[in-house]
Amino acid sequence: MKSGNVTGKTVSRRALISGAAALAGTAATMSVGCGTAPSVSSEPAAGQTIVASDANAVAATTAGKVRGFTRNGIQTFKGIPYAASTEGKARFLAPAKLQPWTETRSSMWYGKTCPQVARAGWDNDVESFLSQWDDGQPGEDCLRVNVWSPALDGKKRPVMFWIHGGGFQAGSGQEQPAYHGENLSRRGDVVVVSVNHRLGVLGFLDLSGYGPQYAESANVGMLDLVAALEWVRDNISNFGGDPGNVTIFGQSGGGGKVTTLMTMPAAKGLFHKAVVQSGSMTLANKPEDGATLTAAIMAELGLAKTQVGKLHELPVQRLIDAGVAAMAKLSPPRQPGMGFTLPRLMWAPTVDGKVLPSVPFDPAAPEISADIPMLIGTALNEFNPAMSNPKAELMTEDELKKQTAAVYGDKAGAIVETCRKIYPNIKPVEVSSILSAIAVFRSGAIRQAERKAAQGKAPAFLYQFCWKTPVMDGRPRAFHCSEIPFVFYNTDVSAFSTGGGPEPLALAAKVSDAWINFARKGDPNHPALPAWPKFDAQNDPVMIFDKVSEVKQDPERELRKLLAEAAQPAKGA
């Protein structure tokens, strides 16, 4: 899939959906009498679910000690800095080392989130209900990690390093309830880490033509993630984790970041397994396009090239607004019809020949990460138009045919017919959502798995998440982000999107155990699932996660072939 300056673009609805993070509001029990000192016991009293004490959950890092808290037996740390602040003169520069601290640092709540564009979902009541947004407190001192661990005991547990979605311009490590790592840590006896990093104009503005100090500016958002992984390498053993067994996993834009890290020399050796969830688009800007965007932003700000230093002084919102205005002027209007029309320019890493030597997974899987096993997949419906629009459920067959013909021309009839053979008795709106999901997400996932398998080294495993939520009369179906609560074993925590209760929890056990086993040994198989073969291009084995989970030969193979043969104006501007 191509779109102007990129080879395959991620899609932005909320800039590739993120959601809200909120803890399951269990109140801490504290017994501090008036005028008396608090207890220093690190053991919970009867019925106590949270222990917050100066003597509890203290771990050493290379910069100094940090203190978290214990919730339901899981050691929890939030907002730990992994690199220095990026404010002022540090804007647009590679992440710098932390200055050590001497006293124990309180690390009990999330740190700042990167300042970013307004989320489109804020104006959508149903999407906000499903996602329960928690966008945190924005600030440029945002290079922070959160850690959940069963114990600070020196045991070498697998480390699962979560990278949030939102394309490369939005999101945070706390934005969805599903991101909370406590249940996954407990279920798998693993250490879970989530991360904030620079986004949008702060993380990917190419100023390399404005002075040698900016040589890496187009990719500092990715270098932040490298710095966070270096923090894991240097510190996670003090949190009960194994720095020699780190799995990076991310959804949507987070999956795109996983894919990018697999191509970066600076990231080599910092992780050992990789999971890409609805994020297999091969995404990278060309240097000339980055230069065009930067010039447009400078013009919006009324700055000459010699005034580049002013960028360090302007309010951050001014920079964000200038980026939005510049992109609007440089990108053509979206084309009508089914599917997604992608802007010509989007925030993304830049192929600079050094930090990012090539477009990730294009034309082949990167040799630098050939030894890294992969788990790759998508959701069935992804961006379903009926999710927040009940009228879309009323789409007629004639409307579907007209819409499909506008995108796929004279092959539209065969495409719709083939889709109905695979998925009988589905509504026209479901056909529309499935075709869009294949064109934008599924084809990229298959292509990535094929290129990984072609290396003949580490395996790839392919899945499709097909479970449909009952929430909102079932209209969202298997939507973009819907698998995340199942991966984290958080279907009750995320009941606004799953409905909660025993059915999603039972599937969550199967899904989360697959991710845990993959993190532990590079193979997602476990007894509660049918045998899951590694991917090969001849047989296309796919694990279908649903009420009944089963392995099938890729059911959409013929349909994908038809789509590939058809003209696809929705793939690019």
Q: Quick one: which of 499, 513, 508 has its CA closest to 470?
A: 499
Question: How many Cα atoms occupy the beta-carbon half-sphere of 348 within 13 Å?
Answer: 35
Q: Fill in the DSSP letter of residue 147.
A: E
How far apart, in whole angstroms, are the C-alpha atoms of residue 41 and residue 494? 32
Measured in degrees and rounded to the nearest 5, phi and psi for residue 463 equal -135, 165
> 178's torsion region: left (phi>0), alpha (psi -120 to 50) or beta?
alpha
In whole angstroms, how far apart are CA 450 and each of 39, 266, 445, 537, 544? Answer: 58, 25, 9, 6, 18
Q: Quick one: which of 242, 453, 426 has its CA closest to 365?
A: 453
Neighbours of 135 (CB within 10 A): 18
Q: Fill in the DSSP letter of residue 414.
A: H
Residues in the chain: 573
Of these residues, 85, 149, 217, 252, which one is catalytic? Answer: 252
- Is 312 known to be catalytic? no
H or E element: which one contains 80?
Answer: strand 74-81
- Is 480 known to be catalytic? yes
Q: Which two tokens stand for residue 346?
A: 């989007």
**Helix, strand, coil content of the chain in percent (nearest 5):** 35, 15, 45
Please answer whether residues 184 and 489 qualify as being in contact, where contact means their C-beta atoms are separated by less than 8 angstroms.
Answer: yes
How far apart, in whole angstroms, are the C-alpha atoms of residue 438 and residue 216? 34
> 464's torsion region: left (phi>0), alpha (psi -120 to 50) or beta?
beta
DSSP sequence for 184-202 = HHHHHT-EEEEE----HHH
Q: Is 424 exposed, middle or buried (0-12, 13-18, 19+ CB in 10 A)?
A: exposed
Of these residues, 127, 175, 382, 450, which one is catalytic? Answer: 382
Of these residues, 194, 480, 482, 483, which one is catalytic? Answer: 480
Neighbours of 75 (CB within 10 A): 25
How far apart, in whole angstroms, are the C-alpha atoms of residue 347 and residue 437? 22
Contact residues for 556 (Cβ-Cβ < 8 A; gap 6+): 422, 438, 442
Q: Catalogue the active-site residues.
A: 252, 382, 480
